Structure 1
């Protein structure tokens, strides 16, 4: 496993390239799983193949053991990708992603929306901020 350590909030967070998060395939499944597991849904809006801040967020937040632990314990994850290369997604996924972008009025990336299991928005963060600030944002939303 290839890894490096990064200092965040005077603690070390291990970044691991081989981290596999449990992303759910669609919005309906995310809400269903959130209700069953009593978790919040984190929707990550990204432009995976062109958005540079999204690539940084993906690498520095989503590929850490700290985030993996947090998400496994407290979140259902849904990625809503808007790649320039449309062949990266199925037509159904493209349609669902367009619907979700309209529903949550997403005009720029990255954006994180946190929902309860009923689909009610409880928090949002639009645009890129320093990676270490995402943890308090996420934790304050899910532990309300």
Structure 2
């Protein structure tokens, strides 16, 4: 009986943890993220990061972006895009080019930087990103960071 209970408990625990991690998708392809955000009428959250070297980026992920509070907030409000500038981790050349173009377009010169932008297609079919605001690391955990994010997204 104990074995059955333990096995059942373990299966439920693994299932619950697995689904929690599957809920958020961080896109790396801007075109795909743009199309999803347009279709779902959501704001883009553009996370400029140095994932394998930037201490503040790692801290922002740990304290905010990988928390249940952020997950709950993000799933209905934004389409997540990671624009990574790693130093040690190999990266596809097309992804590097895209990320540097986005960095230049948004004039990002420090990490972490998080931009919120509303996607828009023009009558000619061109893609535009209307910037709503930006933030970075905010002390105080998910509550304080989400307070800043909500103020930015509310201006939409």
Superposed pair shares fold, TM > 0.5: yes
Could you tell me whether the CA contact under 8 Å between 1:19 and 1:68 is conserved in 2?
no
Larger proportion of helix: 2
| Coordinate RMSD, CA, aligned | 1.7
Structure 2 match to 1:43 = 46
Residues 92 and 55 (structure 1 numbering): CA distance in 2 closer, same or farther, change over 3 Å? same
Between 27-36 and 109-118, the greater mean CA deviation after superposition: 27-36
Listed as ranges, the gaps of 5+ residues in structure 2 are 1-12, 15-19, 121-128
SS of 1:105's equivalent?
coil
Separation (CA, whole Å) in 1 of partners of 2:28 and 2:86: 16
Retained in 2: the 8 A contact 1:45–1:109? yes
Q: Is the 8 A contact 2:48 2:113 kept in 1?
A: yes
Q: Which runs of 4+ in 1 moved over 3 A?
A: none
Q: Which runs of 5+ in 1 are unaligned?
A: 3-17
Correspondence 1:12-31 to 2 at 5 A: 19-20=21-22, 21-31=24-34
User: In the alignment, which residue of structure 2 is the partner of 1:62?
Assistant: 65
Task: Determine which structure has more spread, i.e. the larger CA radius of gyration.
Answer: 2
Query: What whole-Å deviation, never above 9, does each CA across 1:88-135 have from its counterpart, x for those lacking one?
Result: x21111111111111111111000000002211001114x22134210
Number of paired residues? 127
